[in-house]
Structure 1
């Protein structure tokens, strides 16, 4: 939102300057005086404080950031939708109940004795086709084409009903191929697991309770099976065995293990640890010379990005060249350097015997209770 330079209590709208809606909010602080803050709203939504996720650093002087979000709808009927859904007698009634759901948007899987369905529930903003950023980043809120124009009708939400195969599944993957503003999203949560799910479902003519349990417990990584042949294609065969204790021998031993690996992310194997460390190191090497310290924010490898680079999709192999050096580095060279760096780090933590490393030793998921987890008496219980 652009502030009025003559009156910072006003912001610009398509119809001129307008005063912020304001309300004081008192925050009670234990063992200290209460703190009073002023909350502000624009026609687009609540104004975010500059310190929220450091948003002030990317907000131009004389402007503030306001948030438009479907969950802020004062007429939210999501709770009513949930109650109706629980009382629904079949797929058709459940689909009708979904029309009342506002936020958060999600895919709803439904099944009764004869029908199956997947329905996206939740409101989608109605945006102008002339929106300056297509909703992908903050846009000037005083321009009419950037403002939400209400919500799209429920019928615009993707729906899949009784497919010929009889099988529906979702891994937060892309479900529709539609142009903006009916696109649903530019950023989908998954591009890999859906491939593995499709393979598991296609392995059988008839699915059973046991086959679904098997699919739920599956630990084979499609990412590993698809990326390893790409990033390691120039490295698999590297001549005679190098002397023990050298970086080259460690690389040869690791590649020998990966060459025979089926992608199973078992906690008892070294291969998942090697692959994951390699992929993380590789992505960091690909982007750090271009984005600098911002590379630290990309803690999770993006397999689609790495695949595009190593397939040189639309010239993406240019990411392999390190800008700050005179020679032009190739993707196989960067893959080798990344693997050597990852293996050196793992060796420092786990010893030199590559075959003795275990994925489960370094890949622990801890679910400590945010409050009681710090209390010695309860820590073991929660």
Structure 2
């Protein structure tokens, strides 16, 4: 759920690579809001690290690592309406958590009967908790909060005894433990695990930490996940039993990690509260937690956690609408900032428009917003990058690059920005903007450009608007002429059209975004087994994109960079004016057995934007049941 570890390492590597430190804020921009005080160059913190090491190798994480790539850290949507903004006079709540697609899906629909009454919604198998759903009195949903809950530290080894590391009080021995890893048909391996006061020591290969670690040092990581007594699950169970918004907020006091925004509605009130531990940092922290910092300096170390009351909360807003798309929620100065890294600056723009277009909302208008596929990014960037290209080309014979460029621009000129699976324009736009970013950063960052697998909309906008000199990115340093941003836009469009021709053919009008944007619900174990993979993997043509409310995050790499690999595996909309009209769906089915008809029977409903009803009325649920399964423990 957190991408902060990678974000810190990447910022350090880019800082080492760029000769102009002013450009760091372009390629790794802050979410819109108040400015951030200048940070030191990473090389100033650790002079022994060289740029040669920083760009040495791609930032690959181990497949078993709990830390996901930053682009694939948790995301989600949730929004709520108070009775004053509801057509039927009851509160409304919609939630669709975004995670990596798998078959079977991570989510499982269930109804749990508690002493306090029934709860219904989305669970994760093995956890006795409805994580997003409703009871008779309360509805709740989750979105990733992007709290800065990780810090990377560079620890100095004792040159006379590498079993010790430097602390503010002198050298101290690592806490160590041996772990034996048994391997089938091979000898077991013994590894030595080490801890510092800040956290566990990580190998240099993890996220390419070795590239930013000077000789004679190691890297460690602090995380709220390392709390010795994690009461998160107990807190989630208390939320299920709550009868009101305030009770639920109080119940989440003991929630630790991963940090979430908890959106709540009861019969009368709507609210959102950030739950989870927030580290207490010193105001004099050298990097403000944005880059790895020296672990032996006291000001860089965590001083416990902030009180729960410091977590952002919004209760009964005057406008009657609240929500979160992983966007920046508060604008506080460091060290009470919550985060410098947020998961969205784009979807929230479309959400605001859809919410404010209506005086009152219904269950169906919330569903419409949940399934919206209009890209605010495309609407903002296309007029900007194509300003010197629209309608300015001379007549060109068919079959020439100039003619193909004209055809592409003609299609995009009449496009609404809807990332519809049946249209060619989303594919042309996505390929163009991807090629453009690569052209802008390749000569500046070299191999490090490979780390930017997804388009950074704020970066492209800064460059084309020349915000604080950001147009420098458009000039190719290695060439004698001075290229403009519009030169780069034209060249990138030609790059994109050549890629499309080689991959999909030359007939632009017949392209389908859905062919390139297939949802990949792959089985994590059997998905690569020859022949069997055709039975266990579920592939679907889908709409949406990286920055649409119906989010379909693209893979970003490989021969199929636009495959849809991360999105809403669960959708739910709860209407407290008529609770039994609430609807739910997951992206695959209820069974984990690929020969069961329930393995993928919800997949097509999910793809078409359809839902199923679920009820807390036991008799109503049984009346529509296709069968009953009983699990009885052995005597």
Q: State if a TM-score over 0.5 links the two structures.
A: yes
Q: In proportion to residue count, which structure has more strand? A: 2
For residues 347 and 50 of structure 1, the distance between their equivalents in structure 2, rounded to whole angstroms, comes to: 41
Please tell me whether the aligned partners of residues 372 and 379 of structure 1 are also in contact (alpha carbons under 8 angstroms): no
Give the secondary structure class of the aligned counterpart of 1:274. Answer: helix
- The equivalent of 1:55 in structure 2 is 209
- The equivalent of 1:122 in structure 2 is 276
- The Cα shift of 1:54 comes to 3.1
1:138-149 to structure 2, matched below 5 A, reads 138-149=292-303
Pairing partner for 1:151 from 284, 292, 305: 305
- The Cα shift of 1:350 comes to 2.1
Give the secondary structure class of the aligned counterpart of 2:191. Answer: strand
Please tell me whether the aligned partners of residues 527 and 533 of structure 2 are also in contact (alpha carbons under 8 angstroms): yes
Pairing partner for 1:380 from 522, 535, 538: 535
Pairing partner for 1:289 from 443, 446, 450: 443
State the superposition RMSD in angstroms.
1.2
> Structure 1, residues 241-285: CA drift from partner, whole Å, max 9, x if none?
311111111111100110100001011111000000000000000
Give the secondary structure class of the aligned counterpart of 2:162. Answer: strand
Please tell me whether the aligned partners of residues 171 and 193 of structure 1 are also in contact (alpha carbons under 8 angstroms): yes
Matched, 1:95 2:249: yes
For residues 204 and 408 of structure 2, the distance between their equivalents in structure 1, rounded to whole angstroms, comes to: 48
Which sections of structure 1, spanning at least 5 residues, go unmatched? Answer: none
- The equivalent of 2:599 in structure 1 is none
Matched, 1:267 2:421: yes
Please tell me whether the aligned partners of residues 523 and 536 of structure 2 are also in contact (alpha carbons under 8 angstroms): no
Which of structure 1's runs of 4+ aligned residues deviate more than 6 A? Answer: none
- The equivalent of 1:216 in structure 2 is 370
- The equivalent of 1:250 in structure 2 is 404
Q: TM-score, normalised by structure 1?
A: 0.98
More RCO (CA 8 Å, sep 6+): 2
Which sections of structure 2, spanning at least 5 residues, go unmatched? Answer: 1-154, 538-635
- The Cα shift of 1:192 comes to 0.4
- The equivalent of 1:105 in structure 2 is 259
- The Cα shift of 1:36 comes to 1.1
Give the secondary structure class of the aligned counterpart of 1:169. Answer: strand
Greater displacement, 64-73 / 49-58: 49-58
- The equivalent of 1:279 in structure 2 is 433
Matched, 1:298 2:452: yes
Give the secondary structure class of the aligned counterpart of 2:527. Answer: helix
- The equivalent of 1:163 in structure 2 is 317
- The equivalent of 2:504 in structure 1 is 350
Q: TM-score, normalised by structure 2?
A: 0.59
Give the secondary structure class of the aligned counterpart of 2:222. Answer: coil
Q: In proportion to residue count, which structure has more helix? A: 1
Greater displacement, 370-379 / 330-339: 370-379
Give the secondary structure class of the aligned counterpart of 1:18. Answer: strand
Please tell me whether the aligned partners of residues 50 and 56 of structure 1 are also in contact (alpha carbons under 8 angstroms): yes
Pairing partner for 1:4 from 146, 149, 158: 158
Pairing partner for 1:331 from 479, 485, 502: 485
1:32-47 to structure 2, matched below 5 A, reads 32-47=186-201
- The Cα shift of 1:343 comes to 0.7
- The equivalent of 1:234 in structure 2 is 388
Please tell me whether the aligned partners of residues 522 and 536 of structure 2 are also in contact (alpha carbons under 8 angstroms): no
- The equivalent of 2:340 in structure 1 is 186
Change over 3 Å in CA distance of 1:240–1:325 after alignment to 2: closer
Give the secondary structure class of the aligned counterpart of 1:3. Answer: strand
For residues 241 and 358 of structure 1, the distance between their equivalents in structure 2, rounded to whole angstroms, comes to: 27
- The equivalent of 1:197 in structure 2 is 351
Aligned residues: 382
